[in-house]
Every structure is written in structure tokens, then in C-alpha cells.
Amino acid sequence: MKNLKPLADIRVLAIESYGAGPWATLQLADLGAEIIKIEAPPRGDVSRYVPPGARDGDSLFYQCLNRNKKSISLDLRSEEGMEALYRLLPSVDVLFANPKGTMPDKLGITYEHLKKYNSKLVCCFLTGYGRVGPRKGHPGYDYIAQALSGIVWMGGEPDGPPARCGVSVIDMAAGTNAAFLMMAAIHQSRQTGVGCTVDTSLLELSIAYCNYLNTWHLSTGWEPEKLPMGAHQTIVPSQLFQTKDNWLMVMAQMDKFYFSLVREMGFPELAEDIRFLTMQDRYQNRDVLLEILSQAFKSRTTAEWIKMLEGKVPVAPVNSIPEALRDPQVDALGLVIDYDHPGLGKIKQTGPPFTFSGYKPEFKPGSAIGKDTESVLVSMAGYSKDELAKFQKEEV
């Protein structure tokens, strides 16, 4: 069967840099969309210089977020650069950007500004804090959004400092949300013939991801606690436990898992104890139950507990990154990919987090800075090579 690209008919012009924005368009690129990335000359996306593995205007960090993308160099601070942008718009479905919230209006790139060039155009913006409000002009980053939303306050031990999530989960979440919004807006545009502007932000995603905690507080006044061992706020046991040699994550999110856990551990009486029969019972008697389980988990190694419990109760060892990448389930899912890069050699990275019947993603390195400028501006915007030579001389 021919390897049909699900999004082969979608073309995105992306003014993006660093993490959240490139992650958004990466989701579309891995599904076959054409992503044309605009980079400011002469250095381009700042992520090209993030160590380790940064060399000659490219980096492993850049490649893991920008594979399968084209790159054109345009100075959008110049009239000529903006004119080139306008001439590209009739050939694209989406103009995507991850700027400060004040930039879309300042630069004039919302749908209201650009609809005269393409009435079906979708303009999608992923900002730090949105395009309204007191922080709209502030630079925004993942860790800052985590701090503002309460996520950092929730992390760490009760007697220790706050702790952020160890990876840039809000960048990724906001990027995925932006990709979803682009697809929804394209669908609407193709039905109606009228484009639109759609917005999302790091702060909105951070607040939204505190979903049930926010609901409990807003509806009842309940306030979350900073609990030890990464514990769930109300479900017990659902947390880290120290073993004889390491750590174990246990999540008895349903009554049946709790009963299986204590029986497999050799405490059948705890499955009959009236103090622990329901979620509410275990929540009210949290301290007593956790003391029993914590002491018991220290009697065996993590590997011994995994052998005893895995498949019967939701449990996992606390892996390091290298250990996680060696996990047999990761291998079975084919999550590690590789491709050759002309300057960085063979790049190994984690691939797209999906399988798609009838489609197998293909991977190639993201283009060098401005590599596709001539081909894109000639074929899509109608520029002559002489005009492009003039642009280059003027550093446009």
C-alpha cells in the first residue's frame, strides 16, 4: 500500500523558535504536513545553539523539534521581508507564530490584518500569557507558567522547596493544543471559506492542566496540600514508596487495585479492614495505611516488587532517562528513531508518539538556516533569482 501522508494537503508558514512553537508544528510535520519555518537572519532559531551537540548553526536540541521542516531566512522587521510574507500567504493554510502576546498586532499578522491576502487563512498564536491582560507583552517560558499556575508549588516534599516538573511538559502540552487548534480551524475554514485567528498560551495550559484541583477549590473551597512522596491529593495509596534498594511508583486508582495490592503483598486482612474498604475510608485513614505499606515496601527490592505486582496493580520502577529508553515496552512501540544529518552524523531521538494505520512516518533532518529560501520564494511567491540576490545583498 502506498504510504499516504495524512496531512499532505496542509501547508504551514511558521514564525517559531525554541520549544513550544516548534513542538506544535512538529506534530503536523510528522503526519506529513509541509512546514515552512521562517528564521531571522543571520542566526535563526535560538535552539540551534543549545548544548550539548550544538555545532555550525545546528544542534541536537534543534533537530528533535524541527525534523521534517523547511527553513527560509526572512527579516520581518523590514518592508521587503513583510512583502515576501504577504506574497507567500495565498499558498498556505496557516500562519503560525509563538511570539510575545503584543507581537501579532504590532507586526500586523492576525487574520484581520491578513485576510485580504488569503480569505481562508488561519492565524494561530501560541504565546506565554495570551494576547490580553497585564502580562501580554512579557516573555513567557514553561517553568514560569508552571510557577504561576501552582504546579511548582505542588512539587517537592512538604518540608522542602517547591519543584517544577522535570521536563518542559507545558511547552509540549501547549504545542499539542496549538496543533489541535490549527486542525480545527483549517477544518472550519475549508467548510466556510472564511479563516480566523486562534490563540492559546502556556499559562492557559498550565491552569487548565490543574483541572480537577481547580474544580475542587472553585466549587467547594477545598485547598490542595503539598504531600510527601508525590502522593495523589485524595486517592490512597497513589504515590512513591521507598524499596530496599530504590523507589517504586504505585497507583491504586480503583478499589480493585487496592485489594489486589494488599493481598499480593501478604496483607489480606487489609482488604477486609473497615478503615480501608472505600476510597473515602482510605483517604480519611491515610496516615495509618501508608505507614503499614511504607514499612512493607522496604523489605524487598524494586525488581522483586515489580515481579510480584506488575500486571496486577499499576506499578512502575522509577527509571532514569537511560533506563526508560532501554525499557522493552519503549522498544516494542518503536519510540526510538534515527536518521543521518550532514553535519551532526547519525541522530537518534524519540519519534512521534502515535501509530497510524497505513502510514509510516519518514524522517529527515530539519533544514539548515535558510536552506529553502530560494526554492520557496521562487515557487510559492513568484520571486526572480535577481530579486532574491538583491534581498541577500540587503540582508533581508
Phi, psi for residue 106 in degrees, rounded to 5 = -65, -40
Distance, CA of 352 to CA of 171 (rounded, Å): 16
Q: Position 25: which residue type?
A: T
The three three-digit cell numbers of residue 324, written as one number: 526508560
pLDDT in tens, 254-299: 999 999 999 999 999 999 999 999 999 999 999 999 999 999 999 9
**Predicted local confidence at residue 1, as pLDDT:** 53
**Predicted local confidence at residue 16, as pLDDT:** 97
The list of the chain residues with pLDDT below 50 reads none
pLDDT in tens, 182-205: 999 999 999 999 999 999 999 999
- The position carrying cell 532517562 is 321
**Predicted local confidence at residue 235, as pLDDT:** 97
Domains of the chain by residue range? 11-208+333-393, 228-242+247-317
> Considering only the top CATH level, what class is 228-242+247-317?
alpha beta
Question: Would you name the residues annotated as active-site residues?
Answer: 171
CATH superfamily of 11-208+333-393: Crotonobetainyl-coa:carnitine coa-transferase; domain 1 (3.40.50.10540)
pTM as predicted: 0.94
Report which of 126, 19, 11 is spatially closest to residue 72, judged by C-alpha positions. Answer: 11
Burial of 95 (0-12, 13-18, 19+ CB in 10 A): buried
Which residues, 6+ apart, have CB-to-CB distance to 293 below 8 Å?
Answer: 237, 241, 262, 265
